[in-house]
Amino acid sequence: MDSAILSLAGAFVLSIIGLFVFIWSLRKGLLVENPAAASVIFARGEIGHTDDPAAADGERRSLQAAASEHGSAGHGADAGELQDRVAADRSSAFPVFMFIAFALFWLILGSAAGLVSSIKLHEPDWLNQQAWMTFGRLRTVHLTAVLYGWITNAALGMILWLLPRLLRTPLHAPVWTMLGGALINTGIAAGIGAIASGWSDGMEYLEIPWQIGIFILVGFVLIVLPVLYTLVNRKVEHLYVTVWYTVAALLWISLLFLVGKMPGVHTGVQQATTNWWYGHNVLGLWFTPVSVGAIYYFLPKIIGRPVRSYNLSILGFWTLAFFYGQVGGHHLIGGPVPGWLTTLSIVQSMMMVIPVVAFSINMAGTMKGRMHLARYSPTLRFMMFGGAMYFLSSIQGSLESLRSMNAVTHFTHYTVGHAHLGAYAFVTMVLFGAVYFMMPRVLNWEWPFPRLITVHFWLAAVGIGIYFVALTVGGWLQGVAMLDPARTFMESVAVTLPYLQWRSVGGTLMLASHLVFAGHFLAMALRFGPQRTGAALFAHSRELEVVYGK
C-alpha cells in the first residue's frame, strides 16, 4: 500500500477512534453544560455590557441601549480583570500590528492580481506581453497573496491578540513571533517572485517552491512555541472554545505544510492525493477553525451575552477535527484514484454538516433577540455576515461532493464561486470584522472615519454577492453545456462570457472595498482624524484605560 493511501486510512481510523472516545466522554458526563467556561471572555460583572471598539460614540450608546432593552445591563466590570486585559493586549500589540500591516499589503496586491486575472478571462489579449503577466502566473500570484499573504497573516495577528486575552496571560516572547512573521513574509514575497518568474512546485495551493517553503515552516514553528508556552503558563482554568480552535489550527497548519511540502516523497497519483489532502485541509483545518473561533469570541463579546451552549461549540470543534481530514479526496472524483478513497471522502464531506449545524444553532441561540444590534455595531455586521456564509458555503461544499452534482460542477467556474463564498464571504469578512475590533486596542487610536467602515462593508458584500451569483449561474450553465454531447466545447466556453464580465464587476467592488479599508488603516496608523474619547480609545492615564479598555 502506498504512503498516501496509508496516511488517509490512518487518518480515517484515528477519526473513528476519536469519535468513540468522544461518545464515551459524553456518556461519562465529561462535557456537561459549563456556564463558567462560556463566560470566560467576560470580566466579572461585565456580562450585559456591549463592546465594539470600532463603533463611534453615538453608535456605542445606541448599541448598549438596544442591548439593555433585552437583558440586564450588568454591574461595573471588575477593574483588576480589565487591567489584566489591558496588559494582555499590550503584550501582543506590536506583533499584531506587524501581522495586520503585512496582511493588508498582500490583500491589495493579491486582489489586484485577482482582478487582472479575471479581466483576462474575457479579454484574453490584454497584458500578455511578458510571461509574468499571463493568466497562469497571475492567477497563482493572486492565490498565494490572498491565501498566505492576507488570510494567514491576518489569522496569525488575530490569534496572537486573542490568546493573551483569553488566557489572561501576557504573550510570552513576542519577539519570537515577530521573527516568525518576518520569515513567513519573506517566504511569501520570495514565493510570489518565484511563481511570477515561472518557478513553482506546480501543485495547487502548494505552488511556493519547497526551498522557500522552509522559511514559512520555520516561521510557523517560531510562532507556535511562544503560543504553547503562554498556553501552558495561563492564568485561567477554563479554556474557552476559541482557544481550542485557534491553537489546534496553528498546530494543524504547521503539520500540513510540513507534510505537503516534503520534496520527492509523493509522485504521480499519490502526489495528486496528497495535494488535495493538503489543499482542502488548509481551508478546513486552518481558515475555518480560525474564523469559527473568532466568531465564538467576537459575537458574544460585542452583544455582551455568553454563547448559548458551550458544549455545542465543543461538539462542533471535535466533529470538525474528526471528519475534516479526508474531505480533500472529493476533488479527485472521476480521477484515477481508488473508488473507496473518493467514496470515503464524500461520506466525510456529508458528515461536515454536523459541525456546521452545531455552530449555526448555537449562534442563532446566542443572537436570539439581538440581531438588530448589527445596526449599531460595525464589527457585528461583518461577523454575522461571515457566520451566515459559513453555513451556506459548508452546506454547498457538502452537496458539491455528491457524485451527481460534481458531474456538473467539476472543472467549471461554479467551483471558483464556491471557493470565494468560503474564502471571502466567510473567512475574509470575519477577519475584516476582527481587524476593526482589534486595531483601536492595538494602536491606542480610534478609527478616524467610522463611515468608511460602512462603505467598506457594503462594497465588499455587494461585490462578493455579484461575484458569487455570476459564477454560480455561469458555472452551472458551463457544466450543463460540457455534458451535452450535441454541443461543441467552444459553446461551453462562450456561454460563460457575460458571467465572467459580471465577475469582474463584482471583483472591482471588492478591490475598491479593500482600498478603502487599507486607506483607513493607514490613516489610523498615522494618527489622522479627531481624537475622541469614545469606546475605542485607550486613554493615556492608567485609570481611564481600565474604564475604556474593555
Interacting residue ranges for ligand HEM, rule: CB under 6 A: 107, 111, 114-115, 117-118, 139, 142-143, 146, 150-151, 415-416, 419-420, 423-424, 428, 503-504, 507, 510-511
User: Minimum Å distance from CB 413 to ligand HEM?
Assistant: 6
Those residues with Cβ within 8 angstroms of residue 313's Cβ, 6 or more apart along the chain or in another chain: 241, 296, 307, 358, 359, 362
Those residues with Cβ within 8 angstroms of residue 262's Cβ, 6 or more apart along the chain or in another chain: 210
In which element (H, E) is residue 330 found? none
Residue 257 half-sphere exposure toward CB, CA atoms < 13 A: 26
User: Minimum Å distance from CB 106 to ligand HEM?
Assistant: 9
User: Minimum Å distance from CB 117 to ligand HEM?
Assistant: 4
Question: Which DSSP symbol is given to 56?
Answer: -
Those residues with Cβ within 8 angstroms of residue 102's Cβ, 6 or more apart along the chain or in another chain: 149, 153, 181, 185
Angle of the 153-167 helix axis to the 241-261 helix axis, nearest 10: 140
Q: Which residue's CB is nearer to ligand HEM, number 139 or number 441?
A: 139
User: Minimum Å distance from CB 185 to ligand HEM?
Assistant: 17
Q: Which residue's CB is nearer to ligand HEM, number 82 or number 423?
A: 423
User: Minimum Å distance from CB 22 to ligand HEM?
Assistant: 31
Q: Which residue's CB is nearer to ligand HEM, number 110 or number 378?
A: 110
Q: Residue 364, SS3?
A: helix
User: Minimum Å distance from CB 502 to ligand HEM?
Assistant: 10
Those residues with Cβ within 8 angstroms of residue 221's Cβ, 6 or more apart along the chain or in another chain: 180, 254
Q: Which residue's CB is nearer to ligand HEM, number 314 or number 509?
A: 509
Q: Which residue's CB is nearer to ligand HEM, number 173 or number 512?
A: 512
Q: Which residue's CB is nearer to ligand HEM, number 48 or number 279?
A: 279
The count of residues in the chain is 550
Q: Which residue's CB is nearer to ligand HEM, number 143 or number 248?
A: 143
Q: Which residue's CB is nearer to ligand HEM, number 357 or number 515?
A: 515
Q: Residue 371, SS3?
A: helix
User: Minimum Å distance from CB 30 to ligand HEM?
Assistant: 38
User: Minimum Å distance from CB 121 to ligand HEM?
Assistant: 6
Taking the CA atoms of the chain, what radius of gyration do you get in angstroms?
23
Those residues with Cβ within 8 angstroms of residue 380's Cβ, 6 or more apart along the chain or in another chain: 52, 298, 299, 302, 303, 373, 374, 433
Cα end-to-end span (Å), the chain: 56
